[in-house]
Amino acid sequence: MYINVPAKLATKPAVILAQTKYNTLSEQYGFITIFPSTTNDFNCWDVASAKSLIHEGGGDTQGLSNMVKYTIQKYGADTSKIFVTGTSSGGMMTNVLAATYPDLYAAGSAYSGVAAGCLAGSPGASPISADPTCANGNVRKTQEEWVAQVKAMYPEWTGSYPRMQTWHGTADNLVFYPNLAEQIKEWSGIYGVTFSKNNTNTPQSAYTQIVYGDGTKLVAYSAQGVGHTVPVHETVDLAWFGIQ
């Protein structure tokens, strides 16, 4: 793993587990960024196996979370400011980490990913190895089924789950657009919130912000005409994380 620790580190800094470009903003705001990578399955994270879809199961979810725990201990990070974000495979992992380690992460921002558990049982998680049903947008479940799947990833957990922000392009032809609706279904069920409103041209032209509840637990972004992947909106993510 690669850790970026800014020259001017904040007291009890925030930590972002990311697969995106945060170094410049890290220097500005004083947070630590962890940039993990994997050489397995065509450089894609394991979001399919039983060991990765359970808390402390020994899979990639545990390995990534151990990186975060190490960083917290080494740098005295603020445990209430631990965040995760990623794109494509990283977006999938963001959802899975929110489900398997809700005790560790405060919020997530997932780009062009799938719901936690969508790839469960697939022989792999990359475009080469995976059962394509999930990526093609054909894994459809009821809200109750998605909620049960999330809760099964950490059966002992009775606390709250990380706040979630999720992004998807309508023209995505690799991880198809219906996966946005399944993510929304999953997390709105976890939080017990319902649709409130759409804000068009937010945060930019052709994007629609989809707000659930009061907008503090779940917000989605639909990017009209955007393919795979939605460009990362770092400043929007940082605002979601409360880093400003």
As annotated, the active-site residues are 88
φ/ψ of 108, rounded to 5, equals -140, 160
**Buried residues in 172-205 as b, exposed as e (16+ CB within 10 A):** beebbbebbbbbbbbbbbbbebeeeeeeeeeeee
Quick one: which of 240, 143, 160 has its CA closest to 195? 143
Contacts of 199 (CB under 8 A, 6+ apart): 208, 209, 211
φ/ψ of 37, rounded to 5, equals -150, 160
Q: Strand, helix or coil at 109?
A: strand
Q: What are the tokens at 40?
A: 């397995």
Taking every pair of C-alpha atoms in the chain, what is the biggest distance, in angstroms?
Answer: 47
**DSSP conformation class of 210:** E
d(CA 23, CA 94): 19
CB 37 within 8 A of CB 54: no
